Amino acid sequence: MNNQMPSTDDRPVMIDVNDVTLAFGPRVIQHDVSFQVRRGSIFAVMGGSGCGKSTLLKSMIGLLRPTHGTYMVQKDNYWAGDDDSRVRIGRRFGVLFQSGALWSSMTVGENVALPMQMFTKLEPHVIRQLVELKLGLVGMLHAIDQYPSELSGGMRKRAGLARAMSLDPDILFFDEPSAGLDPITSARLDELILNLRDGLGATIIIVSHELSSLFHIADDGIFLDAEQKTAIAHGSPTWLRDHCTDPTVHAFMHREQLDSSSSHGNG
């Protein structure tokens, strides 16, 4: 079966996930998941609703310890170290949560500024300048003094993106960045993600099932299956669409109904 994209990528490996098993108590969500993310790549974690995409992301940003397997961020074994070492590695991460997860008691500007105030010794006016820059990059400068409750869903996502970039992380995690956005806003966000990758050289991991945006931006990826509870295909979304012969992946990539033999929840 053809489910592994032949790789000619020689960029250095940024993230190496090896045989990771995720479970909530006795309930296994995904087992033996392995993949590598190369520097500067936009890596898509795909799969139907409820297959464990977000759970995998949770374990990669340090919210859920895998029951088995190793997760390397360059030379650091993320889960092997103590809390301090995880925090130190985590400082390189920027995370955009599904609905922004902005702190509601602070303005958008304060949201972006908080990590800088906590973790750098920059002068207040420099922080202000950088906050303006980051909000400017995502087109949210006008909302710098507004509270999250005053923003629309798309604006919250963009503000969340600005906050994720607050400390200039070199690894960005996006959880469903374009879910719930209109096509124009979604396309803008895609363009923005590409520009950020090109401009800042960041490595980006995206959890999504928005096909159009995945085809556009992702250059590598993994497909998780809810039935087999593991990764059933590796490769960029476009490659999987054009070459993968697995019926589930094929149906997913072509927005088709799966034959009745399998009944997984395809979002």
Which CB, 147 or 215, lies closer to other proteins? 147
Supply the minimum distance, in Å, between the C-beta of residue 259 and other proteins: 37
The residue ranges that bind other proteins (CB under 8 A) are: 12, 14, 39, 74, 85, 88, 91-92, 104-105, 116, 119-122, 126, 129-130, 132-134, 136-137, 139, 141-142, 144-145, 147-149, 165, 167-168, 170, 192, 195-196, 198-202
Report phi then psi at 125, rounded to 5.
-70, -30
Report yes or no: 139 and 158 within 8 Å, Cβ to Cβ.
Answer: yes
Please, what is the minimum distance in Å from the beta carbon of residue 11 to other proteins?
11
Asked if residues 159 and 143 have their Cβ atoms less than 8 Å apart, the reply is yes
What are the C-alpha distances in Å from 146 to residues 83, 107, 158, 160, 205? 34, 5, 13, 13, 29
3-state helix, strand, coil in the chain (%, to 5): 35, 25, 40
Rank residues 192 and 251 by Cβ distance to other proteins and give the closer one: 192
CB of 97 to other proteins, least distance (A): 14
Closer CB to other proteins, 122 or 258, in the complex: 122
C-alpha of 162 from chain center: 14
> Closest approach of Cβ 210 to other proteins, in Å?
21
* C-beta closer to other proteins: residue 46 or 164: 164
Structural contact between residues 154 and 99, judged by C-beta atoms closer than 8 angstroms: no
CB of 235 to other proteins, least distance (A): 25
| Residue 223 Cβ vs other proteins, minimum distance, rounded to whole Å | 28
- Would the CA dihedral through 31, 78, 18, 69 be positive or negative? negative
With respect to other proteins, which residue has the nearer C-beta, 5 or 171? Answer: 171
Complex with other proteins: residue 12 or 25, whichever CB lies closer: 12
Q: What are phi and psi of 160, to 5 degrees?
A: -65, -35
